[in-house]
Amino acid sequence: MTTTTELTETTLLRFATAGSVDDGKSTLVGRLLHDSKSVLTDQLEAVERASASRGQEGPDLALLTDGLRAEREQGITIDVAYRYFATPRRRFILADTPGHVQYTRNMVTGASTAELTVILVDARNGVVEQTRRHAAIAALLRVPHVVLAVNKMDLVAYEERIFARIAEEFTGYASELGVPEITSIPISALAGDNVVEPSANMDWYGGPTFLEHLESVPVAHDLAHCHARLPVQYVIRPQTAEHPDYRGYAGQIAAGTFRVGDPVTVLPSGRTTKVTGIDLLGEPVDAAHTPQSVTLLLEDDIDISRGDLLVPSKDAPATTQDIEATVCHVADAPLTVGHRVLLKHGTRTVKAIVKDIPSRLTLDDLSLHPHPGQLVANDIGRVKVRTAEALPVDSYADSRRTGSFILIDPSDGTTLTAGMVGESFASPEPVKDEAEDDGWDF
Amino acid sequence: MTTTVTAVPGETGTPYTLSHLDALESEAVHIFREVAGEFERPVILFSGGKDSIVMLHLALKAFAPAAIPFTLLHVDTGHNFPEVLEYRDRTVAAHGLRLHVASVQDYIDRGVLKERPDGTRNPLQTVPLTERIQAEKFDAVFGGGRRDEEKARAKERVFSLRDEFSQWDPRRQRPELWNLYNGRHAPGEHVRVFPLSNWTELDVWQYIAREGIELPEIYFAHEREVFQRAGMWLTAGEWGGPKDGETVEKRLVRYRTVGDMSCTGAVDSDATTLDAVITEIAASRLTERGATRADDKMSEAAMEDRKREGYF
């Protein structure tokens, strides 16, 4: 029997799936949930009932994941859904994203919080355009770990050379894009080979099963290479008899470590002071790390409010009103040059104007179209934005939290665009204005 | 290697990982503080059930040592468990909070709502809830909903915009990227906020155990007069049970969820402690709603349909 303590002392892995229609993504997700015993009897019964009422012979595991009426009616997944399952070693949050090219924004949404992305390919087809798109988005979002799941190995006689060829081609391509870690696993989601249990059909494969890999991939933050960042969310001032002078700056540490005694700078004002105390949800501590939610107490009573960024004085980012970024447009209405928007970065929301859209990426062949004039839903492109106030932005390559932003339509609050600050990561060369350019750039 | 490294303060450069409960707690606190920073009139839905109790506990931690900058709202179906109402009032008093109560019984007495033939009042909560939200001009409403509860909830955002009729349109949800929650809304609209979105039932129980949070007694095994209807053990009471042919018996039971008495079933259990409850849930082959909530069994899209109208 698993004890309470063992269950408590696990870690959490957030991961996202991507895969084209018919690559077997739903089957893989269904098998993971099913074989990890995360599908409970009443859920399975509901799926069996629904499948039978549609005249289907066996239970359709896709019904486990398609939660909306419209999805069940159309038999497709139209939106990101979040699934939860656990093994004794780890808890998992799965962002289940549709793989269709017109749902690029959903994959971007799922990948934005993921530590790992699973890219599924059909062993019979190998690396196809859609696989390259998924790899490009995983690279763009800087998901730390990528798994290539070569599915339907049962349909290619479990042949090692087929797997090896696909894995080699994908790894070469994804490494060029800057994907830091790639693990390739041959599976059959339908037959259950190498998903949860090792496959007897592929004794040539010496690596972990899919689930073993999910359970063991590191989720630790390497604090040595992080710039410490705390976006101030809220100022806590009890003004009670017990705490007449308490003034704490609350927020979730976006990156790195803060310690009592650290000299810190408040951005964008540039004032400096020192950390005199750290409260971790009511308990004083000497140091706190990302992603803890904390409250910092500072030596000087200076003007700090929601939207400010606290950083170590020796490691402050530059502030700027001109931001260049790679973006994914997520709204139905287009983003155009001259568009007046709101930009939310950390805890700060400022007015901004779209100054230029230098290029749009064609996901089909990863070529660049210069000056497209606008970005429509699911487009990925480069955008230059001018903000009304200076912002302390990091490069997305350095910090996924303080290097990202969203654009919001001020008229109705629609989330328009997901932005990643900084130079393109894939190609150090400047953007060339030829569509046939074989090096590509976001 | 799976790492469960807790970094030692003072060491630099060590890989650092939060336990899953700490990660969920930190995320929920971040959500509470975002709402406090961006909204004018937030309110926490508080029923005295375990999820809302955990929400309140997280809110207390998020703003410590200051008080919670929110009021509470309970939609009272008139069919609540007395132990839960007692817990609700005691908790509100202990933390010096303000509680709004919207009463389904009032609506029935005034003839605005009609009692359903099956006696279930859960679906009747939508009107009192949404009218109170409009009347008090609440612009952010915290709910304890979790995505693991139900497949329509699996599609729910953390910040979920409701129109001036409190309706949810699952096809027009804002994508949620990183932890950049978008709380923009027009006057009359509000945002439902779900800080426990990423928690599972087991997470909630483990957190309750870790934090030593007190719960109403009905969550633990106790002897109770119940009768069977549609495969569930229901508590006898003035709400309309038992009917002819249903016999009351004394059984050792506990509740996994707390809702309206007319549609919330008890489960056979001898779990009298938190550890025993956790062991029982970890081994259970039924979801909490599947085991004990009649209202979710009405149709394949029962939850989605009610949510569209403004229900949680």
Q: What is the ipTM of this complex?
A: 0.90
Of A4, A108, A404, the CB nearest to B180: A404
**CATH number of the domain bearing residue B31:** 3.40.50.620
Q: Are B65 and A243 an interchain contact pair (Cβ–Cβ within 8 Å)? A: yes
What percentage of chain A reaches a pLDDT higher than 90?
64
Question: Are A305 and A249 within one domain?
Answer: yes
Could you tell me what percent of chain B has a pLDDT over 70? 87
Nearest to A10 among B20, B62, B304 (CB): B20
Q: Are B155 and A81 in contact (CB < 8 Å)? A: yes
| Domain closes at, from A278, A312, A346 | A312
**Quick one: A415 and A384 in the same domain?**
yes
User: Which residue did the predictor score with more confidence, B13 or A197?
Assistant: A197
* DSSP letter, residue B255: E
Residues in B touching A347 (Cβ below 8 Å): 34, 37
Residues B194 and B223 reside in one and the same domain: no
Same domain, A166 and A50: yes
The last residue of one of the domains, among A194, A216, A238, is: A216
Out of B19, B150, B174, closest to residue A415 by CB: B174
**Do B259 and B195 share a structural domain?**
no
Least confident of A120-134, A219-233, A408-422, B129-143: A219-233
User: Residue A278 sits in a domain of what CATH number?
Assistant: 2.40.30.10
pLDDT surpasses 70 at A438: no
Judge whether A414 is closer than 8 Å to chain B, CB to CB. yes
Question: Are A169 and A54 part of one and the same domain?
Answer: yes
A189 and A166 fall within a common domain: yes
Q: Which residue of B has its CA nearest to A64?
A: B151
Instruction: Note down the domain range covering A142.
Output: 12-216
A373: left (phi over 0), alpha (psi -120 to 50) or beta: left
**pLDDT computed for residue B300 by the predictor:** 52
Mean pLDDT, chain A, integer: 87
- Contact status of A417 with chain B (Cβ, < 8 Å): no
B247 and B142 in a single domain? The answer is: no
The string of pLDDT tens digits covering residues A274-283 is 999 999 999 9
- In a domain, residue B52? The reply is yes
List pLDDT tens digits, range B202-250. 899 999 999 999 999 999 999 999 998 877 888 887 777 788 888 899 9
pLDDT above 90 for A226: no
Q: Does residue A359 share a domain with residue A287?
A: no
- Asked if residue B155 and residue B25 are part of one domain, the reply reads yes
3-state secondary structure of B225: strand
| CATH at A196 | 3.40.50.300
Question: For residue A352, what pLDDT band results from cuts at 50, 70 and 90?
Answer: very high
Q: Give the Cα separation of A59 and A82 in Å (integer).
A: 21
Residue A160 sits in the same domain as residue A228: no
Assess whether A346 and A246 both reside in one domain.
no
pLDDT of residue A5: 47
Cβ pair B152:A286 closer than 8 A: no
Q: Which residue has the higher pLDDT, A220 or B4?
A: A220
Chain A interface test: which of B17, B163, B178 (most A C-beta within 10 Å): B178
Amino acid at the residue A193:
D
Same domain, A288 and A359: no
Backbone angles phi, psi at B14, to 5 degrees: -80, 145
Q: Are residues B157 and B238 in the same domain?
A: no
Residue of B68, B149, B162, B180 to mutate when probing chain A, most A C-beta within 10 A? B180
Q: How confident is the model at residue A195 (pLDDT cuts 50, 70, 90)?
A: very high
How much is the pLDDT for B282? 79
Give the predicted TM-score (pTM) of the model.
Answer: 0.91
Mean pLDDT, residues A295-311: 96
B185 with B86, same domain? yes
Query: Is B11 within the bounds of a domain?
Result: no
Domains held by chain B: number: 2
**Residue A12 above 70 pLDDT?**
yes
Of the three residues A312, A347, A375, the one that is the final residue of a domain is A312
pLDDT score of A427 more than 50: no
Give the domain range for residue B91. 20-202+300-309
Which of A67, A86, A292 has its CB closest to that of B18?
A292
Count of domains in chain A?
3
Which of B27, B147, B151, B207 is the best residue to mutate to test the A interface, defined by the most A CB atoms within 10 Å of its own CB?
Answer: B151
Does some domain include residue B68? yes
Evaluate whether residue B240 is within a structural domain: yes
Q: Is B33 in Cβ contact with A43 (below 8 Å)?
A: no
